[in-house]
């Protein structure tokens, strides 16, 4: 829970908003005192089993394919440290700071369930690292999404041991300065952890990386889908489309929840539009608009419903204690398969499909503006001087190129599997890979919507002396603060980037809501 901007870990499952707050905005965390007492009680069970002459997996044995190998008590600290060091085998570019913070927070949340057997000092060290802004270096490749996000989590555990590299700094300052973990911990007054029985496993066995990225994606996609309704409204207006198809009674004939929300947004965006009113009379000979205009609520709504399903899965996972073996409430230590990332991997892939389709429809609306045979009287490519100027021709190329990539990124990662660990881990989820490609997809969707908004704003300006509606006009005013109106050809890339920033920051939505009221 959040108290005075502080996220309390352990009292109850974390929310998606809390994950975003800590990962992206550096909200400080506190550990729930009652949960810490439970952590200590469960640790006592592990220590009792450590003295047992009967082997217990992860406590007095090796791991994975070496689960039957008994480890003497004087070698177990080395066993845990060796596990972390050997599993910190990532490769490739650094993973984003917010992703690393999210996976560390989620691992901490699982440790606080008292189902892992980690010690209190280990739990408190993870909290201290997050609050100090110390972010371990995690590499792009290394997780198969089963037995947890092993390599990414191992890199974080390594930093808690005072080994490896980290970055130090808060979110507004960028990724932070690169330094050795030992030096960073010393500067922050944090003592490196010396891992005891079971703790190596407890720190690396979880879906925290893919779940962290899913939580961030849900937050971002929810905002982008509202923006997609806004951009569709701008296009319907400037392409002289009709708002009649978005009527509530028509939408209720197909009672899909997300569809109703998107249609309501479109009605709010187009309410009182003089451009829409200008062609409502009998002189308008068009019977119905193209699908990319008329069916926007159906596509955007289906995307919303898919996002709702992904949110349900994420919330269940946030309430989970994922480890192997796990300490049950009645004191047993049991092996299990809850570390398999399939539930998370599937919805990550579902969302990549959604993103590609919403972006595809947006690009089709952009393309209609540029074709003189379909743009209802506007100039070809919305050019200032036809034949001399190219207008927004290549902006559409950019959108098309992004959409093409999004379609490739929509190919599911979760249907792939490469056996590992001497065939002990013979089926894996590839959920980490699904999450990585979804992050790239979301960036692409924001850019495609920005190009549509740029294009529709120019189309509306070219309808002068007709005026846009209050909500669409407010969005166009916001766009004009960073992007000039119609005129001779100019350098377009900075304008595309500037409008993309408006989309990603939420300023486009804020502008629309300043006139239309709250949008969903």
Average pLDDT over residues 420-426: 73
| Whether residue 2 has pLDDT greater than 90 | no
User: What is the tens place of the pLDDT at every residue in 505-517?
Assistant: 999 999 999 999 9
User: What is the tens place of the pLDDT at every residue in 7-53?
Assistant: 999 999 999 999 999 999 999 999 999 999 999 999 998 888 877 76
Average pLDDT over residues 129-137: 98
> Percent of the chain scored above 90 by pLDDT?
82
CA atoms within 13 A on the CB side of 374: 15
CA dihedral (112, 151, 421, 200) in degrees, to 10, reads -40
pLDDT tier for residue 488 given thresholds of 50, 70 and 90 = very high
pLDDT tier for residue 287 given thresholds of 50, 70 and 90 = low
| Whether residue 201 has pLDDT greater than 60 | yes
Average pLDDT over residues 141-170: 94
Kind of pairing between the strands at 165-168 and 134-136: antiparallel
User: What is the tens place of the pLDDT at every residue in 378-387?
Assistant: 999 999 999 9
Residue 54 pLDDT: 73
Tokens of 431: 């959920």
Residue 66 pLDDT: 60
Buried b / exposed e over 235-252, threshold 16 CB at 10 Å, is: bbbbbbbbbebbeeeebe
141 labelled catalytic = no
pLDDT tier for residue 147 given thresholds of 50, 70 and 90 = confident
479-487: Cβ within 8 A, 24+ apart: 479/453, 479/454, 479/508, 483/454, 483/457, 485/457, 485/458, 485/461, 486/382, 486/384, 486/458, 486/461, 486/462, 487/384
Catalytic residue, chosen from 57, 126, 291, 397, is 57
Residues 6+ apart with CB under 8 A from 333: 45, 46, 49, 56, 57, 59, 117, 325, 326, 327
All structural domains of the chain: 2-206 (1.10.275.10), 215-416+426-516 (1.20.200.10)
Among 187-191, 289-293, 319-323, 332-336, name the one with the lowest average pLDDT.
332-336
Tokens of 462: 């070219």
């Amino acid at each position: 829970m959040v108290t005075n901007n502080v996220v309390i870990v352990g009292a109850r499952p974390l929310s998606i908003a809390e994950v975003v707050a800590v990962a992206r905005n550096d909200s400080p965390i506190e550990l729930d005192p009652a949960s810490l007492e439970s952590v200590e009680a469960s640790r006592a069970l592990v220590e009792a089993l450590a003295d047992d002459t009967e082997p217990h997996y992860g406590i007095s044995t090796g791991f994975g394919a070496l689960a039957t190998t008994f480890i003497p008590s004087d070698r177990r600290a080395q066993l845990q440290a060796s596990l972390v060091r050997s599993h910190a085998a990532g490769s490739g570019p650094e993973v984003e700071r917010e992703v690393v913070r999210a996976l560390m927070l989620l691992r901490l949340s699982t440790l606080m369930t008292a189902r892992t057997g980690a010690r209190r000092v280990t739990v408190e060290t993870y909290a201290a690292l997050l609050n100090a802004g110390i972010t371990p270096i995690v590499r792009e490749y290394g997780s198969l999404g089963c037995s947890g996000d092993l390599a990414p989590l191992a890199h974080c555990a390594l930093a808690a041991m005072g080994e490896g590299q980290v970055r130090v700094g808060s979110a507004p300052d960028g990724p932070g300065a690169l330094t050795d973990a030992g030096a960073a911990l010393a500067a922050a007054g944090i003592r490196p952890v010396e891992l005891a029985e079971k703790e190596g496993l407890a720190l690396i066995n979880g879906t925290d990386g893919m779940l962290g990225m899913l939580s961030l994606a849900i937050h971002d996609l929810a905002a982008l889908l509202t923006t997609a309704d806004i951009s569709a409204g701008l296009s319907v207006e400037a392409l002289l489309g009709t708002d009649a198809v978005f009527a509530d009674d028509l939408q209720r004939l197909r009672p899909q929840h997300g569809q109703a929300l998107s249609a309501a947004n479109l009605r709010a965006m187009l309410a009182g539009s003089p451009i829409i009113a200008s062609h409502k009379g009998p002189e308008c000979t068009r019977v119905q608009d193209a699908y990319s205009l008329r069916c926007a609520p159906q596509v955007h709504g289906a995307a919303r419903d898919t996002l709702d399903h992904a949110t349900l899965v994420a919330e269940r996972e946030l309430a989970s204690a994922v480890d192997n073996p796990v300490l049950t409430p009645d004191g047993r230590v049991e092996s299990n398969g809850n570390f398999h990332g399939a539930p998370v991997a599937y919805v990550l892939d579902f969302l990549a499909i959604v993103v590609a389709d919403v972006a595809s429809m947006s690009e089709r609306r952009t393309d209609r503006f540029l074709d003189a045979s379909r743009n209802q009287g506007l100039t070809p490519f919305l050019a200032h001087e036809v034949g001399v100027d190219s207008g927004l021709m290549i902006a559409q190329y950019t959108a098309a190129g992004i959409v093409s990539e999004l379609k490739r990124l929509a190919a599911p990662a979760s249907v792939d599997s490469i056996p590992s660990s001497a065939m002990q881990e013979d089926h894996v989820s590839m959920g980490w890979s699904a999450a990585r490609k979804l992050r790239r997809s979301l960036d692409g969707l924001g850019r495609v919507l920005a190009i549509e908004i740029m294009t529709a704003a120019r189309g509306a300006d070219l309808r002068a002396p007709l005026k846009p509606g209050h909500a669409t006009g407010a969005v166009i005013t916001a766009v004009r603060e960073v992007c000039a109106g119609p005129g001779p050809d100019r350098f377009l890339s900075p304008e595309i980037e500037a409008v993309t920033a408006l989309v990603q920051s939420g300023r486009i939505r804020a502008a629309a809501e300043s006139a239309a009221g709250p949008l969903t």
